[in-house]
Amino acid sequence: MLIEIIAAMGFLLSLYAYHVEKKLADKNYKPVYSFNKNISCNKAFLSKYGKLLGRSNSFYGMFFYLMIFILLQLKFFDFVFLISILSVPGSIYLAYLSYVKLRTFCLVCTSIYLINILLLFLSYKYI
């Protein structure tokens, strides 16, 4: 199913973001996709908005996409749709923080926001 592929992509992007966040502790590390101060995920990852309750947003993302994938395997499509509904306002808020407050474009973050919107539309088809 396409929705499983999208969820797997979300998990992999979150895993990559988590990996990059850990590597950013090394001041010499520069991710491939960091082009300049306005097109870089470093600013988003390292900002005060990059964590919730002391944990990285990407950690929660990995858990979220894993949960989506498991719920899909169990054919609990209503729950997938429900948590997809909840993820979109969170994505909109994080996009606002990134684009407006931090004035940066994070390619990984934007991809995750789009994946969350796609999950919402695709999960709607299954309820």
Each residue's pLDDT tens digit, 4-27: 999 999 999 999 999 988 887 777
How many CB atoms sit inside 10 A of residue 62's CB? 18
Fold of 2-124: de novo design (two linked rop proteins) (1.20.1440)
Q: What's this model's pTM, rounded to 2 decimal places?
A: 0.90
Domain ranges of the chain: 2-124
Instruction: Return the structure tokens found at 68.
Output: 């989506």
Q: How far apart are CA 1 and CA 3, in angstroms?
A: 5
How many CB atoms sit inside 10 A of residue 59's CB? 17
The residue type of 65 is Y
Q: Is the model's pLDDT at 95 over the cut of 90?
A: yes
Q: What is the pLDDT of residue 45?
A: 84
Q: What is the DSSP letter of 49?
A: G
Instruction: Return the structure tokens found at 70.
Output: 């498991």
Burial of 44 (C-beta count, 10 Å sphere; 0-12/13-18/19+): buried
DSSP, collapsed to helix, strand or coil, labels residue 52 as: strand
Is 119 in contact with 87 (CB distance < 8 Å)? yes
Q: How far apart are CA 3 and CA 60, in angstroms?
A: 19
Each residue's pLDDT tens digit, 45-65: 878 888 888 889 999 999 999
- Looking at per-residue pLDDT, the higher value among 83 and 33 belongs to 83
